[in-house]
Amino acid sequence: SGQRRGGAAEAGGGLSLREELTVLGRQVEDAGRGLEGIGKSISYDLEGEESYSTYLRRESAQISDAYSSSDRSLSELEGKFRQGQEQGSREEARLGDSFLGLLLHARALLRETRHISVGLRDKHDLLALTVRSHGARLSRLKNDYLRA
């Protein structure tokens, strides 16, 4: 520092040793405050843990717990989804069986109706023959009556 002082004094605008030490002291204080701030920032980042490894262990445990919890929730959700699908399948089967039963019942009714219709057609034909026969007999009786 003596050489600096001598060299700076020769330049004409140099600082005294006391001033240089004062400036250097302020720089050290500033650096100390900076390091203190960094220390606080690190302790804040570590959330009160004494070392980074402890912080990482705690974070790892929290992540593991969160993963286990989400895995459990996902398993429960999958189970409920499967139950819903099974219930939906059972309901679809029940509805299908019910619809099939109604369809078979309607088919049976249509067959019965067709048989009745065929029987009615036969009876209609028989009745038409009977009416024609009676008509012919009445016409003959009328003619016989009118002639007599």
| pLDDT, tens only, 102-135 | 889 999 999 998 888 888 888 888 888 888 888 8
Gap between the Cα atoms of 82 and 18, Å rounded: 83
How far is CA 108 from its chain centroid? 45
Q: Is 74 helix (H, G, I), strand (E, B) or coil?
A: helix
pLDDT of residue 36: 85
Gap between the Cα atoms of 95 and 86, Å rounded: 14
Structure tokens, 34: 């900076």
> Which residue did the predictor score with more confidence, 2 or 113?
113
25, 17 Cβ separation under 8 angstroms: no
Structure tokens, 116: 């009745």
pLDDT digits (tens, 9 = 90+) for 7-54: 444 444 577 888 888 999 899 998 888 888 877 776 666 666 666 677
